[in-house]
Amino acid sequence: MLVRTVTSALQIFEAFAEHRRPMNLSELSRLLDIPTSTCFGLMRTLEASGYLYEVGGRKMFYPTARWLLKSREIGTHDPVLGLVRPHLEKLRDSSGETVMLSKRLADSVVLLDVMESKQTIRYTAEVGQLKSLNLTSSGKALLSALSDEERDSSLLRLHGANGARLSVAQRTQLKDEIKKASVKGWYVGRAEISMDVMGVAVPVRLAGEVFALAVAGPLPRMDRSVSANAKQLLAAAKTLMKQL
């Protein structure tokens, strides 16, 4: 029950972020697909805690800046991101492409930080997004850091781009790809989710945990510079591991 309540509260903020306007109780209840009574209780709790306020006296609500301020405090004191972010910015500027830091979350990849390219045509992503372990460069980098037993177990649960579980042949092919890429130390995702996107990633161990550093962008540009981007990622990973 507690998990469901917390999830619904987070979904309220996600709804406001997506629609970017004040909303009333019935609208939020419909968008979140939860009972009106449950939504009412959550909104009253958030309002009493200073996270929502009523707009215009018409029972329309909108988040206060309290959530933003708390989020900034959390982000400012993140023990990993505080050290990694300058390196992400440097990689973004040197590669000209979008740079990401991610971590394994069960059988997915969760994006922890994103520095988007400054170019007009670029790869876009959001912090908190979940990506495929087997169809992304970051996922392959994270899979490479698992033991053989853990990797085999994870592969049994993964799905291909068509939504079906990986076949024996697909699992074997992926294991061979990871094994070959491990010689160089960097991993490629080429048009496996989106036909015009390519990424390259390396695993990096920070504070006892394995993360993935990745550069991603339009396939034609990335195809020409994949080796150069990989070398920059490897150098950044080496520097970060020394710092931590």
- The structural domains of the chain, with segments of one domain joined by +, span 2-69, 78-243
- Greater model confidence, 1 or 17: 17
User: Which pLDDT value is given to residue 74?
Assistant: 81
**pLDDT per position as a tens digit, 55-69:** 876 788 888 988 888
Say which amino acid occupies 226.
V
Nearest to 186 by CA among 148, 236, 150, 221: 236
pLDDT beyond 90 at 230? yes
Q: Is there a contact between 175 and 210 (Cβ–Cβ < 8 Å)?
A: no
Q: Are strands 60-63 and 23-24 parallel, antiparallel or unpaired?
A: antiparallel
Q: 């853990």: which residue's tokens?
A: 150
pLDDT beyond 50 at 3? no
Provide CATH code, domain 2-69.
Answer: 1.10.10.10
Q: pLDDT class for 83, splitting at 50, 70, 90?
A: confident
Q: Which residues of 182-194 are buried (b: 16+ CB within 10 A; e: fewer)?
A: eeeebbbbeebee
DSSP 49: T
Q: 């020409």: which residue's tokens?
A: 224
Q: Measured between alpha carbons, how far is 133 from 165 in angstroms, rounded to an integer?
A: 13
Q: pLDDT class for 183, splitting at 50, 70, 90?
A: very high
User: Which pLDDT value is given to residue 7?
Assistant: 67
Q: What percentage of the chain has pLDDT greater than the value 90?
A: 58
CATH of 78-243, one of 3.40.50.300, 3.40.50.2300, 3.40.50.10490, 3.30.450.40: 3.30.450.40
Q: pLDDT class for 232, splitting at 50, 70, 90?
A: very high
Global pTM reads 0.79
Strands (E), 20-97: 23-24, 52-55, 60-63
What region does 201 belong to: left with phi over 0, alpha with psi -120 to 50, or beta?
A: beta
The structure tokens listed for 158 are 């993964």
